[in-house]
């Protein structure tokens, strides 16, 4: 049986202790080096009184993976050369 933990739709704000935190989709802003990155429809929990924001941790992890500079690139150190590929510093024996 799958363990499904239901997330409450609202909860009291732990920051101001008076507001109610509700799920919303917002535009998330972050800097990547010198570029401003905007992500529309990003899930967040926002207090209706003080504005305190908590971002969905799964969405943050996903975004961090996407923005990783080496995402999608294979590591040269982990790759083995193809058996028919000669490296620059190897000397192949002469075939007679």
Q: What percentage of the chain reaches a pLDDT higher than 90?
A: 45
Q: Tell me which long-range contacts 48-54 makes (C-beta under 8 A, separation of at least 24).
A: 48/19, 48/20, 48/21, 48/22, 49/13, 49/16, 49/18, 49/19, 49/20, 50/13, 50/15, 50/16, 50/18, 50/19, 52/13, 52/14, 52/15, 52/16, 52/19, 52/21, 53/26, 54/21
Question: Does pLDDT of 32 surpass 80?
Answer: yes
pLDDT tens column, 51-69: 999 998 899 999 888 888 7
Q: What is the mean pLDDT of the chain?
A: 78
Q: Which domains does the chain have, with CATH numbers?
A: 11-64 (3.10.20.860)
Q: Which residue has the higher pLDDT, 7 or 57?
A: 57
């Amino acid at each position: 049986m799958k363990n499904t933990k239901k997330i409450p739709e609202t909860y009291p704000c732990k920051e101001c202790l008076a507001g109610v935190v509700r799920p919303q989709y917002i535009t998330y802003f972050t800097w990547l080096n010198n570029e401003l990155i905007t992500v529309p429809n990003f899930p967040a929990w926002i207090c209706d009184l003080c504005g305190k924001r908590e971002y969905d941790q799964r969405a943050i992890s996903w975004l961090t993976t996407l923005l990783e500079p080496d995402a999608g690139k294979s590591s040269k150190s982990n790759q083995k050369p193809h058996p028919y590929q000669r490296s620059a510093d190897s000397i192949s024996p002469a075939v007679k």
